[in-house]
Structure 1
Amino acid sequence: MNNMANGAGKFLGGLLIGGTIGAAVGLLFAPRSGKETRQILRKSADDLPKIAEEIGSNVQYQADRFTETAQRTIDDAMQRLQEAIAVGQEASTKLRQELDYSVSPAQPNLRDATQEDED
Protein backbone atom coordinates (compact mmCIF):
# COMPACT_ATOMS: atom_id res chain seq x y z
CA MET A 1 0.00 0.00 0.00
CA ASN A 2 2.60 2.51 1.07
CA ASN A 3 4.84 1.68 -1.89
CA MET A 4 2.09 2.56 -4.34
CA ALA A 5 1.35 5.90 -2.67
CA ASN A 6 5.07 6.58 -2.31
CA GLY A 7 5.66 5.81 -6.00
CA ALA A 8 2.78 8.06 -7.04
CA GLY A 9 4.13 10.84 -4.83
CA LYS A 10 7.61 10.53 -6.34
CA PHE A 11 6.18 10.55 -9.86
CA LEU A 12 4.01 13.58 -9.24
CA GLY A 13 6.84 15.37 -7.43
CA GLY A 14 9.16 14.69 -10.36
CA LEU A 15 6.49 15.85 -12.76
CA LEU A 16 6.07 19.08 -10.79
CA ILE A 17 9.80 19.76 -10.60
CA GLY A 18 10.36 18.84 -14.25
CA GLY A 19 7.47 21.01 -15.37
CA THR A 20 8.72 23.93 -13.32
CA ILE A 21 12.27 23.64 -14.66
CA GLY A 22 10.97 23.28 -18.22
CA ALA A 23 8.75 26.34 -17.85
CA ALA A 24 11.58 28.39 -16.35
CA VAL A 25 14.00 27.42 -19.13
CA GLY A 26 11.33 28.17 -21.75
CA LEU A 27 10.69 31.57 -20.25
CA LEU A 28 14.37 32.42 -20.08
CA PHE A 29 14.84 31.69 -23.76
CA ALA A 30 11.55 33.23 -24.89
CA PRO A 31 11.71 36.49 -26.87
CA ARG A 32 10.33 38.69 -24.08
CA SER A 33 11.76 41.54 -22.17
CA GLY A 34 13.44 40.87 -18.84
CA LYS A 35 10.63 42.62 -16.98
CA GLU A 36 7.93 40.45 -18.61
CA THR A 37 9.93 37.30 -17.94
CA ARG A 38 10.42 38.20 -14.27
CA GLN A 39 6.69 38.89 -13.87
CA ILE A 40 5.82 35.52 -15.40
CA LEU A 41 8.40 33.74 -13.21
CA ARG A 42 7.09 35.52 -10.11
CA LYS A 43 3.51 34.49 -10.93
CA SER A 44 4.61 30.92 -11.55
CA ALA A 45 6.53 30.86 -8.27
CA ASP A 46 3.47 32.21 -6.45
CA ASP A 47 1.35 29.39 -7.91
CA LEU A 48 3.75 26.60 -6.90
CA PRO A 49 2.46 26.19 -3.30
CA LYS A 50 -1.11 25.81 -4.60
CA ILE A 51 -0.04 23.28 -7.20
CA ALA A 52 2.00 21.34 -4.64
CA GLU A 53 -0.94 21.34 -2.22
CA GLU A 54 -3.29 20.05 -4.91
CA ILE A 55 -0.86 17.29 -5.87
CA GLY A 56 -0.40 16.35 -2.22
CA SER A 57 -4.16 16.20 -1.70
CA ASN A 58 -4.57 14.08 -4.81
CA VAL A 59 -1.86 11.64 -3.70
CA GLN A 60 -3.46 11.40 -0.24
CA TYR A 61 -6.89 10.80 -1.78
CA GLN A 62 -5.53 8.04 -4.02
CA ALA A 63 -3.71 6.43 -1.08
CA ASP A 64 -6.90 6.53 1.01
CA ARG A 65 -8.89 4.94 -1.82
CA PHE A 66 -6.27 2.22 -2.19
CA THR A 67 -6.32 1.59 1.56
CA GLU A 68 -10.13 1.31 1.60
CA THR A 69 -10.09 -1.09 -1.35
CA ALA A 70 -7.42 -3.23 0.28
CA GLN A 71 -9.37 -3.30 3.56
CA ARG A 72 -12.55 -4.41 1.75
CA THR A 73 -10.58 -7.15 -0.01
CA ILE A 74 -9.14 -8.35 3.29
CA ASP A 75 -12.57 -8.25 4.96
CA ASP A 76 -14.10 -10.27 2.10
CA ALA A 77 -11.30 -12.84 2.28
CA MET A 78 -11.73 -13.17 6.06
CA GLN A 79 -15.48 -13.66 5.64
CA ARG A 80 -14.95 -16.41 3.04
CA LEU A 81 -12.33 -18.05 5.26
CA GLN A 82 -14.68 -18.05 8.26
CA GLU A 83 -17.45 -19.56 6.13
CA ALA A 84 -15.08 -22.25 4.83
CA ILE A 85 -13.97 -23.10 8.38
CA ALA A 86 -17.61 -23.37 9.52
CA VAL A 87 -18.44 -25.70 6.59
CA GLY A 88 -15.35 -27.80 7.36
CA GLN A 89 -16.27 -28.06 11.03
CA GLU A 90 -19.82 -29.08 10.13
CA ALA A 91 -18.57 -31.75 7.71
CA SER A 92 -16.11 -33.02 10.32
CA THR A 93 -18.84 -33.28 12.97
CA LYS A 94 -21.15 -35.10 10.55
CA LEU A 95 -18.41 -37.56 9.56
CA ARG A 96 -17.55 -38.19 13.21
CA GLN A 97 -21.22 -38.91 13.96
CA GLU A 98 -21.44 -41.31 11.01
CA LEU A 99 -18.29 -43.13 12.14
CA ASP A 100 -19.55 -43.34 15.73
CA TYR A 101 -22.85 -44.78 14.48
CA SER A 102 -21.15 -47.41 12.31
CA VAL A 103 -19.01 -48.63 15.24
CA SER A 104 -21.69 -48.38 17.93
CA PRO A 105 -22.22 -51.33 20.34
CA ALA A 106 -25.90 -51.50 19.36
CA GLN A 107 -24.97 -53.80 16.50
CA PRO A 108 -24.72 -57.51 17.36
CA ASN A 109 -21.24 -58.81 17.90
CA LEU A 110 -20.34 -61.42 15.30
CA ARG A 111 -18.17 -63.39 17.74
CA ASP A 112 -21.06 -63.79 20.20
CA ALA A 113 -23.35 -65.02 17.42
CA THR A 114 -20.76 -67.58 16.30
CA GLN A 115 -20.33 -68.94 19.84
CA GLU A 116 -24.09 -69.36 20.27
CA ASP A 117 -24.26 -71.41 17.04
CA GLU A 118 -21.53 -73.76 18.31
CA ASP A 119 -23.31 -74.47 21.60
Structure 2
Amino acid sequence: MSNGAGKFFGGVIVGTVIGAAVGILFAPRSGKETRQVLKRSAKDLPKLAEEVSANVQYQADRLTVQAQRTIDEALIRLQEAIATGQEASRKLQDELILSMANTSNNSSIEIDDIPVEDED
Protein backbone atom coordinates (compact mmCIF):
# COMPACT_ATOMS: atom_id res chain seq x y z
CA MET A 1 0.00 0.00 0.00
CA SER A 2 1.31 3.42 -0.83
CA ASN A 3 1.88 5.80 2.05
CA GLY A 4 -0.52 8.37 0.54
CA ALA A 5 -3.42 5.91 0.47
CA GLY A 6 -2.84 4.97 4.11
CA LYS A 7 -2.78 8.60 5.16
CA PHE A 8 -5.94 9.29 3.18
CA PHE A 9 -7.94 6.46 4.74
CA GLY A 10 -6.57 7.30 8.18
CA GLY A 11 -7.82 10.84 7.64
CA VAL A 12 -11.22 9.50 6.61
CA ILE A 13 -11.47 7.52 9.85
CA VAL A 14 -10.38 10.42 12.05
CA GLY A 15 -12.65 12.85 10.19
CA THR A 16 -15.61 10.52 10.53
CA VAL A 17 -15.10 10.09 14.26
CA ILE A 18 -14.62 13.82 14.87
CA GLY A 19 -17.58 14.72 12.66
CA ALA A 20 -19.84 12.24 14.42
CA ALA A 21 -18.76 13.44 17.86
CA VAL A 22 -19.26 17.12 17.02
CA GLY A 23 -22.60 16.40 15.38
CA ILE A 24 -23.81 14.48 18.39
CA LEU A 25 -22.59 17.06 20.89
CA PHE A 26 -24.31 19.92 19.10
CA ALA A 27 -27.51 18.01 18.39
CA PRO A 28 -30.62 19.25 20.19
CA ARG A 29 -30.96 16.27 22.54
CA SER A 30 -30.93 15.81 26.23
CA GLY A 31 -27.81 14.55 27.97
CA LYS A 32 -29.32 11.10 28.45
CA GLU A 33 -30.24 10.81 24.79
CA THR A 34 -26.82 12.07 23.74
CA ARG A 35 -25.09 9.50 25.95
CA GLN A 36 -27.22 6.73 24.44
CA VAL A 37 -26.33 7.87 20.94
CA LEU A 38 -22.65 8.04 21.91
CA LYS A 39 -22.89 4.55 23.34
CA ARG A 40 -24.40 3.22 20.12
CA SER A 41 -21.77 5.07 18.09
CA ALA A 42 -19.01 3.59 20.21
CA LYS A 43 -20.44 0.13 19.60
CA ASP A 44 -20.51 0.80 15.84
CA LEU A 45 -16.93 2.13 15.79
CA PRO A 46 -15.23 -1.31 15.58
CA LYS A 47 -17.49 -2.25 12.68
CA LEU A 48 -16.67 1.01 10.92
CA ALA A 49 -12.95 0.50 11.54
CA GLU A 50 -13.20 -3.05 10.18
CA GLU A 51 -14.96 -1.83 7.03
CA VAL A 52 -12.39 0.88 6.45
CA SER A 53 -9.57 -1.60 7.10
CA ALA A 54 -11.06 -4.04 4.59
CA ASN A 55 -11.38 -1.24 2.04
CA VAL A 56 -7.77 -0.17 2.60
CA GLN A 57 -6.59 -3.78 2.23
CA TYR A 58 -8.60 -4.17 -0.98
CA GLN A 59 -7.11 -0.98 -2.43
CA ALA A 60 -3.61 -2.05 -1.39
CA ASP A 61 -4.05 -5.44 -3.05
CA ARG A 62 -5.39 -3.82 -6.21
CA LEU A 63 -2.43 -1.41 -6.34
CA THR A 64 -0.01 -4.27 -5.75
CA VAL A 65 -1.45 -6.27 -8.65
CA GLN A 66 -1.37 -3.21 -10.89
CA ALA A 67 2.24 -2.43 -9.93
CA GLN A 68 3.30 -6.04 -10.56
CA ARG A 69 1.62 -5.99 -13.97
CA THR A 70 3.39 -2.74 -14.86
CA ILE A 71 6.75 -4.15 -13.74
CA ASP A 72 6.20 -7.34 -15.75
CA GLU A 73 5.31 -5.35 -18.89
CA ALA A 74 8.37 -3.12 -18.46
CA LEU A 75 10.59 -6.18 -18.02
CA ILE A 76 9.25 -7.71 -21.23
CA ARG A 77 9.88 -4.47 -23.15
CA LEU A 78 13.39 -4.27 -21.70
CA GLN A 79 14.15 -7.87 -22.71
CA GLU A 80 12.88 -7.17 -26.23
CA ALA A 81 15.02 -4.04 -26.46
CA ILE A 82 18.11 -5.95 -25.29
CA ALA A 83 17.46 -8.70 -27.85
CA THR A 84 17.05 -6.10 -30.60
CA GLY A 85 20.28 -4.40 -29.55
CA GLN A 86 22.16 -7.69 -29.49
CA GLU A 87 20.89 -8.58 -32.96
CA ALA A 88 21.90 -5.17 -34.31
CA SER A 89 25.32 -5.58 -32.72
CA ARG A 90 25.77 -9.01 -34.33
CA LYS A 91 24.81 -7.61 -37.73
CA LEU A 92 27.27 -4.74 -37.39
CA GLN A 93 30.00 -7.14 -36.27
CA ASP A 94 29.32 -9.39 -39.29
CA GLU A 95 29.40 -6.37 -41.62
CA LEU A 96 32.68 -5.19 -40.09
CA ILE A 97 34.27 -8.63 -40.46
CA LEU A 98 33.10 -8.83 -44.06
CA SER A 99 34.36 -5.32 -44.78
CA MET A 100 37.75 -6.10 -43.25
CA ALA A 101 37.98 -9.32 -45.25
CA ASN A 102 37.16 -7.46 -48.49
CA THR A 103 39.69 -4.75 -47.71
CA SER A 104 42.37 -7.30 -46.93
CA ASN A 105 41.68 -9.22 -50.18
CA ASN A 106 41.76 -6.06 -52.28
CA SER A 107 44.94 -4.67 -50.75
CA SER A 108 47.03 -7.82 -50.76
CA ILE A 109 50.08 -7.32 -52.89
CA GLU A 110 51.97 -10.14 -54.43
CA ILE A 111 55.74 -10.07 -54.06
CA ASP A 112 56.13 -10.47 -57.82
CA ASP A 113 54.19 -7.24 -58.33
CA ILE A 114 56.75 -5.14 -56.45
CA PRO A 115 59.34 -3.59 -58.74
CA VAL A 116 62.90 -4.18 -57.65
CA GLU A 117 65.61 -1.67 -58.42
CA ASP A 118 68.94 -2.95 -59.56
CA GLU A 119 71.84 -2.09 -57.35
CA ASP A 120 74.72 -1.97 -59.69
Band of TM-score, shorter chain:
0.7 to 0.9
Unaligned segments of structure 1, at least 5 residues: none
Question: In the alignment, which residue of structure 1 is the partner of 2:105?
Answer: 107
1:37 aligns with 2:34: yes
Identity percentage of aligned residues: 61
Moved more, 96-105 or 38-47: 96-105
- Give TM-score scaled by structure 1 length: 0.80
- Give TM-score scaled by structure 2 length: 0.79
1:98 aligns with 2:87: no
Q: Deviations over 1:14-53 (max 9, x none)?
A: 3222322222232223221222212211111111111101
RMSD between superposed Cα atoms in Å = 2.3
1:47 aligns with 2:50: no
Find the structure with the greater CA-based Rg: 2
Instruction: Give how far 1:107 is off.
Output: 2.6
Letter aligned with residue 107 of structure 1: N
Instruction: Give how far 1:57 is off.
Output: 1.0
1:21 aligns with 2:18: yes
Runs of 4+ in 1 over 3 A off after TM superposition: none
Q: SS at 1:107's partner residue?
A: helix
Q: Residues of 2 paired with 1:21 and 1:43: CA distance?
A: 15
Instruction: Give how far 1:110 is off.
Output: 4.2
How many residue pairs get aligned? The number is 115
Unaligned segments of structure 2, at least 5 residues: none
